[in-house]
């Protein structure tokens, strides 16, 4: 029934002369995303609106699902586009539309006409009234409710006429790449993919770093992170996943530092390495999936110590979320099933029985001095042996 889609986008923060940057990026992302869908698509920007036109047969559901992954889209409206061939013709089209869409459903509706073409013989009020009457005649199952209708039938009269009544929610946010890039610390868990999604939603391009500890963590654990990166990349676009060999650094920490401080010290080196790759790729910040108090390494004291290891901003979008809320979001974005696969993480192998929950930065820094004679070489090797995997959604 539909061959075209009107794309609605949120406009907050993109007013004025930068608007075209946002719109052009959105068009690019829609084009990229629809490459994965069966059909021939044309995406255009006209008069401040974005349309997706299709040619011939196409996968309708697949198109909607794909558009739901494009940040910047607030709504997807399947739209019928008519030539302006007079009011009779429009009336017949509106009646057919309502019959086809809402058959025998007992529902209320309201016609919302918009008239950009001021030369149209009927004004907005008249269009609403007349078309309302046409619908009532054509569909006895429908009644009018101007305050709280089930169906909001939009009729836009422009150079052509646009009919739509459905706004399928998009993911919102801003098109990826309109707001710089960030380096995500991506583990195999539930939280970090969600964190990457949340930051990217605000228009940020994402690359990622994963700390791998072979042979303590398996190839399958690494593959799980690659799979998660793919699932996140459905939304964020391609991700360069940096797989860091972290084993030797972890072993050195294990050997030389107090065991109750292992996790904090390890996390501080993760942050330093992530910052290195952020700077190398031009990313201006780091992202983690931390949430206050979730585990010993995420108490306020621990976060203070972790944060002190870097000099660039660290974004933690899950910081105020309960685990349940993070789980709900991970199910919604489609990373949950992969996240819960039971493969070991490097953090879970070298954990102390009683990790500090109130680490003191000075103490931690003193413990780290015990690594002084080896850490520079170990860091250098870790950076040099990092494997970069290009991941696409
Ligand atoms: P997640 O937070 O992804 O569910 P988790 O809760 O087990 O996993 P923690 O060990 O608490 O993660 O680590 C907190 C954050 O540190 C993670 O959200 C992630 O950003 C980062 N992190 C932890 N382990 C790794 C790793 N092996 N590689 C990359 N980042 C990691
Ligand atoms: Mg976590």
Distance CA 375, CA 196 (A): 29
Enumerate residues lining ligand 1, CB below 6 A: 185-187, 189-192, 209-211, 288-290, 295, 297-298, 345-347
Which residue lies with its CA nearest to atom 14 of ligand 1?
A: 290
Q: What is the pLDDT of residues 332-374, one digit of tens each?
A: 999 999 999 987 766 566 777 788 899 999 999 999 999 999 9
Taking only the tens place, the pLDDT of each residue in 41-53 is 999 998 778 999 9
Full-model pTM? 0.94
Q: What mean pLDDT is reported for the chain?
A: 94
Please tell me what DSSP assigns to residue 359.
-
Q: Tell me the pairing of strands 168-169 and 181-185.
A: unpaired
pLDDT at 48: 74
Interatomic CA distance for residues 392 and 108, integer angstroms: 44
Residues 171-198: what's their mean pLDDT? 96
Ligand nearest to the CA of 186: 1
CA atoms within 13 A on the CB side of 334: 12
Rounded to an integer, the average pLDDT of 252-274 is 95
pLDDT digit string, tens, across residues 7-29: 999 876 566 788 888 999 999 99
Q: Which of 204-213, 324-333, 340-349 has the lowest mean pLDDT?
A: 340-349
How remote is the C-alpha of 207 from its chain's centroid? 14
Ligand 1 site-directed mutation target among 182, 186, 192, most atoms within 8 Å of CB: 192
| Interval 181-207 mean pLDDT | 97
CA–CA gap between residue 367 and residue 215 (Å, rounded): 26
Write the pLDDT tens digit of every residue in 276-320. 999 999 999 999 999 998 888 899 999 999 999 999 999 999 999
352 to 253, 254, 259: CA distances (angstroms): 12, 10, 6
User: How far, in Å, is the centroid of ligand 1 from the Cα of 338?
Assistant: 15
Supply the pLDDT for residue 345. 67
CB–CB of 121/84 below 8 Å? no
């Amino acid at each position: 029934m539909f061959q075209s889609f009107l794309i609605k986008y949120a406009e907050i923060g993109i007013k004025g002369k930068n608007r075209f940057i946002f719109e052009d990026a959105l068009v690019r992302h829609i084009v990229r995303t629809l490459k994965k869908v069966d059909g021939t698509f044309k995406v255009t920007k006209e008069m401040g609106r974005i349309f997706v036109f299709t040619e011939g047969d196409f996968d309708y559901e697949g198109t909607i699902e794909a558009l739901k992954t494009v940040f910047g889209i607030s709504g997807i409206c399947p739209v019928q586009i008519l030539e302006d061939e007079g009011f009779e013709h429009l009336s017949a089209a509106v009646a057919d539309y309502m019959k086809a869409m809402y058959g025998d459903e007992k529902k209320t509706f309201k016609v919302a006409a918009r008239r950009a073409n001021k030369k149209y013989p009927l004004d907005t009020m008249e269009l609403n009234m007349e078309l309302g009457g046409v619908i009532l005649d054509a569909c006895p199952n429908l009644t009018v409710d101007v305050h709280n209708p089930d169906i909001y039938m939009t009729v836009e009269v422009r150079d052509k006429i646009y009919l739509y009544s459905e706004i399928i929610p998009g993911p919102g946010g801003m098109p990826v790449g309109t707001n710089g890039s960030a380096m995500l610390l991506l583990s195999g868990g539930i939280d970090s993919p969600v964190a990457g999604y949340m930051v990217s939603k605000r228009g940020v391009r994402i690359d990622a770093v994963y700390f791998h500890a072979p042979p303590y963590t398996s190839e399958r654990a690494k593959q799980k992170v690659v799979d998660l990166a793919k699932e996140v990349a459905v939304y964020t676009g391609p991700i360069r996943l940096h797989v860091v060999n972290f084993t030797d650094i972890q072993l050195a920490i294990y050997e030389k530092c107090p065991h109750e401080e292992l996790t904090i010290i390890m996390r501080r080196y993760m942050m330093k390495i992530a910052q290195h790759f952020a700077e190398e790729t031009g990313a201006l910040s780091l992202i983690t999936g931390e949430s206050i108090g979730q585990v010993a390494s995420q108490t306020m004291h621990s976060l203070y110590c972790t944060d002190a290891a870097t000099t660039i901003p660290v974004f933690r979008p899950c910081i105020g979320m309960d685990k349940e809320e993070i789980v709900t979001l991970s199910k919604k974005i489609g990373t949950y099933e992969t996240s819960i696969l039971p493969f070991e993480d490097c953090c879970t192998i070298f954990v102390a029985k009683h990790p500090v929950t109130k680490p003191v930065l000075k103490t931690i820094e003193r413990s780290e001095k015990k690594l002084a004679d080896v850490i520079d070489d170990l860091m250098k090797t870790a950076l040099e042996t990092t494997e970069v995997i290009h991941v696409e959604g």
